[in-house]
Structure 1
């Protein structure tokens, strides 16, 4: 079963490659300037402890009919073809302009709004009825004369609104005809329910394995002795990776990084940079430990293995040539990722796992 592992919070390979590439020029003779694992001798950094037969608990995989039906209802409600209707909840980006200038409190990204709730000034919500996902509308409105902000009361403004998602108040009906229109290898409601169940089960199982492997990675660090801290440039690479990926995730939710970290992690701009540094240090130590095991167990990735994987990814991504794909991928970073997967597979296979 293919699995994607996350060594540090919300890291993706796309963000990793961008971060590593930006630091490639940092390599030098000073050990503190080493960026990649292949540039260091792991024995200079770590004295490995026990790493086989580690005891961990793995969450049981369970998908109930209620969980399946709830997810199907979510899909049936998401982004209806007919667009926004009264009672639907939309996620929108909007920018309000007074005489061509943005006014205070008139701009937001990723805002949720139930149409008909009266949350916005008269005419705003009504103007979104019929809008489709991805559509942008300019809405000419006038603030009420008794509006609480005197500088806006009675003023004509223009709101530019983009609809990101729509959640219909009433889901579509789940029928065989609906299922047949999905383009899946299903033709009946029963077959679709089984398809969704199997998908949810596999995703949950993958998540449980990834969580167990994260525990293994943490355990080998705890059982090992670090002789010295990871190289400065390597830590900078992970910090950049985390920051860029968190910024990317924030943008997906229509937020900037500060708001995203406050809402989802309860950290403000004064505290989250230090948490990123802490996570970067932890990630670097885990990778050094994994590399040390790879050295001891002959689990390093050969150039031939890396080339074969790159060729496979280039083909799957429909690139015209492998060389074109290589320009988009940082091979050194991906080689580390492959090594980590290989080592964690071995650790997982040799672990003592209790289901719970």
Structure 2
């Protein structure tokens, strides 16, 4: 076998490989001989078919088959000999595949880039310095109260926080429009469910009252025909109700499965959950900054084949999400361009973290894997069942090992990064956009 290597552009390589004619011809003849012994052909006794007939009928297809196998086999031998690491599948082109002639073919493919880790100390990270405070706990209990509130009918003027049952009928330029009419519609004032001005203009109305309000649809409204349009709505209020919050007592604690210890035990349990979620969120923010910094200080050519593979993965994931929510017959075509930037980022991140793992000879820390599984399981009603499921599911267990190894790489990068602690609140971390 003769091999020559050519760099075409960037990471692309072209191997020209020549396999001796004798090697190929012998294999072709052996296969044709086997066909002659086993194949039934009308007009000839089994095993007595003349070689010329076998050659005429099967020669070309057998040679193509043999050539394909030799191309695959010799390609592998060639990349091992030349110490090349292909990224993605090669494309083969046979240049010569005739009887008595060497099999000559080209294999074009991309290789993995040489990854060089440098300037890791220039990665800047702001690590949130934050704890769960008593005020955070108080606010969480208010949220829990609101989640279990009941409603009591009132006769007063409505205010923010009340729940109304209304009819409404909307018009734009004097014409009714799709989605602009409803009867017996329940609306909690202040929920932000309706377009700006709709809820605020109803405040102060009483049950039995009618009113016409004028509001404007936002310029970015989802319905094209209504963007920026002024609309009139006829409103009829049927009932108004006030929220009744439950008392924070032992009965309240039992709503959350705390049978003993009352409010104090519930407060301790909620505090632990908040601390766990806060810790996970802080770790995620730090990891995001480490990876962002790593990408910024690292220059790297990315194989197009790997990007294409990642685009395919992302597109399939998106299509699956759409399929869960839409009629499969109406699924949209999602162009590759939608996922290209995300795919590039993920591939580059994977290559860089892979190099960190390789250079530092990191091995999976089983204790970290256990911690990750237990942390994930703690969010479920029966953690032991979830832990057991991870242990018995090889694919999930492997995924968690990969996560652990990635976290180890991030921790190592963090150790050499430029880290400053920045004071933050629970709300800053858990609800940064005030949603």
TM-score normalized by structure 2? 0.42
- Higher RCO (CA-CA < 8 Å; seq separation 6+): 1
TM-score normalized by structure 1? 0.50
Name whichever structure is richer in strand by fraction. Answer: 2
